[in-house]
Copies of this chain bind each other. A is one copy, B any other.
């Protein structure tokens, strides 16, 4: 019986760049065939990138994507690969539009210059960051086809996360192999959940499972790759790189075997989160046509971590740090910023803001709050001027804890097109800083982040001797309350019952609610938790509910 060599192709498509995505697919297919593959699988929407959001509702977009798939099939035949089935994800017109949706989220099997089979995703996720019920028409039938005497089924992503639907027919159709095409974004504990789910599918439907994910950053999402092949008996046969393009080869038979060199074990959580942040930033920069970034370096931990992520992502030579001291900036802060820049090897300049602050103070009669915000806004204006003059992308360095309680100045330290640590709570910012330093040391490199930036009490330095804890509870308490309120959706009574101080809980919840208008105007940044601010959590600004 002829044997199938499956190539699991994990690509990093750019949303909307259909021609480039198809060209990259052809290159990968050529490479895979050269390695002996005779069945090739891509991820969900590999043709268009993912998620395409309301592009799905534009007829010209769907028509362009469909035409590209047809052309891809023809080109593969012209190259002599016509007999190798290629399974790839793309949007396709639905015959039964509903609501705004005109298209399916589909997977086509390309064979002999044409589309031999098509599957339309059945379960459309419409929770968390996903709006697929808005954008797609569900399909209802499982695709199972025969190739080299094997029965092969095709489903897409959410189909295996919900019960019922086409997935329940896989064993009925006696499928030897099930290809799952995915666009599954990174969350810090998701790799374990995916593996458990795939094993359950393999066991319940008695099928080998090839789970191919996308990789790459897209606005607030990071697709981590981590494609997996799991045999009927639950064994992990192959596992692709995280955070990089990759091809995994598996010889598929009753006992599948890995035909490429790949590690099965994953790296630890800190490594994963760090690399998610790095990839998220790198792809935002690259895919939006930027070459460099600018950010304020205060000597504090947040800007130090963001500068390090940026240096890892696009090279320190493309990172421009600006120190913008005021009358309240301590000497050690300026020193820490300078040491960081030297450690990283990034650009570093200083622009004192005192003269600018004075020019406003002499024209306006300012309250204390206005006066503090004014300093932050001078810095925002400077960073945007640098961006306008030199074409840098401005990074904003706020962390999730600050964004949650509105501990930032809108149009001040919040300015920028991308917010690399917006989903990283303050406790985790410190943890990542320590981890990154240790990781450097373990590789014989210089630890980039000054110890002083990690160990000193955090301060916005907007008035004399200010620290964050003048206004906020200790960050371990704050983060624990935020985790319950934001991520777990607990009410005040439940959080208090868990042992937190009544007045602290009321105050934190009230701050979170009141900061909604600021968050709405914030930059996008990579989601790494189960509940990121942004489209993951959609609350009214006008909202008097307390509880």
Which of A382, A386, A517, A523 neighbours the largest number of chain B CB atoms within 10 Å of its CB?
Answer: A517
Contact A364 B388 (CB under 8 A): no
Which of A57, A489, A491, A494 neighbours the largest number of chain B CB atoms within 10 Å of its CB?
Answer: A489
**Does A360 lie at the interface of the complex (its beta carbon under 8 Å from any beta carbon of B)?**
yes
Query: In the complex, which residues 520-547 of chain A have their Cβ closer than 8 Å to any Cβ of chain B?
Result: 520-524, 535, 537-547
Contact B373 A61 (CB under 8 A): no
**Does A265 lie at the interface of the complex (its beta carbon under 8 Å from any beta carbon of B)?**
no
**Does A493 lie at the interface of the complex (its beta carbon under 8 Å from any beta carbon of B)?**
yes
Query: In the complex, which residues 294-338 of chain A have their Cβ closer than 8 Å to any Cβ of chain B?
Result: none
**Does A359 lie at the interface of the complex (its beta carbon under 8 Å from any beta carbon of B)?**
yes
> Which residue of B has the minimal Cβ distance to A99?
B127
Q: Which listed residue (B59, B126, B133, B537) contacts A491, Cβ 8 A?
A: B59
A54-B537, A524-B520 given as contacts; is B134 within 8 A of A489 (CB)? Answer: no
- Report the Cα distance A508→B419, complex, angstroms: 28
**Does A219 lie at the interface of the complex (its beta carbon under 8 Å from any beta carbon of B)?**
yes
Q: Which listed residue (B59, B131, B133, B288) contacts A542, Cβ 8 A?
A: B288
**Does A69 lie at the interface of the complex (its beta carbon under 8 Å from any beta carbon of B)?**
no
- Report the Cα distance A4→B521, complex, angstroms: 50
Residues on B with C-beta less than 8 A from A389 are: 364-367, 369-370
CB distance from A67 to the nearest CB of B (A): 11
Contact A489 B59 (CB under 8 A): yes
Contact A384 B411 (CB under 8 A): yes
**Does A37 lie at the interface of the complex (its beta carbon under 8 Å from any beta carbon of B)?**
no
**Does A35 lie at the interface of the complex (its beta carbon under 8 Å from any beta carbon of B)?**
no
Of the listed stretches A9-17, A72-80, A182-190, A227-235, name the one at the interface; the rest are far from the partner chain.
A9-17
Residues on B with C-beta less than 8 A from A489 are: 57-59
Q: Which listed residue (B15, B351, B359, B384) contacts A377, Cβ 8 A?
A: B384
Q: Which listed residue (B133, B351, B366, B547) contacts A364, Cβ 8 A?
A: B351
Interface flags for A145-162 (1: CB within 8 Å of B; 0: not) read 000000000000000000
CB distance from A172 to the nearest CB of B (A): 25
What's the interface size class on A, roughly? 35 or more
Q: Which listed residue (B363, B366, B521) contacts A522, Cβ 8 A?
A: B521
- Report the Cα distance A293→B60, complex, angstroms: 43
> Which residue of B has the minimal Cβ distance to A522?
B521
CB distance from A5 to the nearest CB of B (A): 33
Residues on B with C-beta less than 8 A from A17 are: 544-545
Residues on B with C-beta less than 8 A from A378 are: 381
**Does A100 lie at the interface of the complex (its beta carbon under 8 Å from any beta carbon of B)?**
yes
A99-B126, A522-B521 given as contacts; is B358 within 8 A of A370 (CB)? Answer: no
Contact B15 A219 (CB under 8 A): no
Residues on B with C-beta less than 8 A from A351 are: 363-364
**Does A284 lie at the interface of the complex (its beta carbon under 8 Å from any beta carbon of B)?**
yes
Contact B388 A384 (CB under 8 A): no
**Does A287 lie at the interface of the complex (its beta carbon under 8 Å from any beta carbon of B)?**
yes
Residues on B with C-beta less than 8 A from A523 are: 521
**Does A420 lie at the interface of the complex (its beta carbon under 8 Å from any beta carbon of B)?**
no
Contact A385 B370 (CB under 8 A): yes
- Report the Cα distance A229→B60, complex, angstroms: 42
**Does A18 lie at the interface of the complex (its beta carbon under 8 Å from any beta carbon of B)?**
yes
Residues on B with C-beta less than 8 A from A365 are: 389
Contact B385 A364 (CB under 8 A): yes
> Which residue of B has the minimal Cβ distance to A391?
B367
- Report the Cα distance A283→B540, complex, angstroms: 14
Contact B538 A131 (CB under 8 A): yes
**Does A64 lie at the interface of the complex (its beta carbon under 8 Å from any beta carbon of B)?**
yes
**Does A51 lie at the interface of the complex (its beta carbon under 8 Å from any beta carbon of B)?**
yes
CB distance from A476 to the nearest CB of B (A): 24
Contact B411 A385 (CB under 8 A): no
**Does A444 lie at the interface of the complex (its beta carbon under 8 Å from any beta carbon of B)?**
no
Residues on B with C-beta less than 8 A from A59 are: 489, 491
**Does A398 lie at the interface of the complex (its beta carbon under 8 Å from any beta carbon of B)?**
no
Contact A542 B15 (CB under 8 A): yes
Interface flags for A102-120 (1: CB within 8 Å of B; 0: not) read 0000000000000000000
- Report the Cα distance A410→B394, complex, angstroms: 12
CB distance from A121 to the nearest CB of B (A): 15
**Does A472 lie at the interface of the complex (its beta carbon under 8 Å from any beta carbon of B)?**
no
Contact B218 A542 (CB under 8 A): yes
Contact B55 A545 (CB under 8 A): yes
CB distance from A516 to the nearest CB of B (A): 10
7 residue pairs from A and B, CB less than 8 Å apart: A20-B544, A99-B125, A99-B126, A219-B541, A373-B388, A411-B415, A521-B522
Beyond A99-B127, A219-B542, A377-B381, 17 additional contacts (C-beta under 8 Å) are A15-B545, A18-B545, A53-B538, A55-B540, A57-B489, A99-B126, A100-B127, A351-B363, A366-B388, A367-B389, A369-B388, A373-B384, A374-B381, A377-B380, A378-B381, A411-B415, A517-B524
Top 9 closest pairs, chain A to chain B, by CB: A16-B545, A60-B491, A370-B388, A17-B544, A359-B359, A100-B127, A367-B389, A16-B544, A16-B543
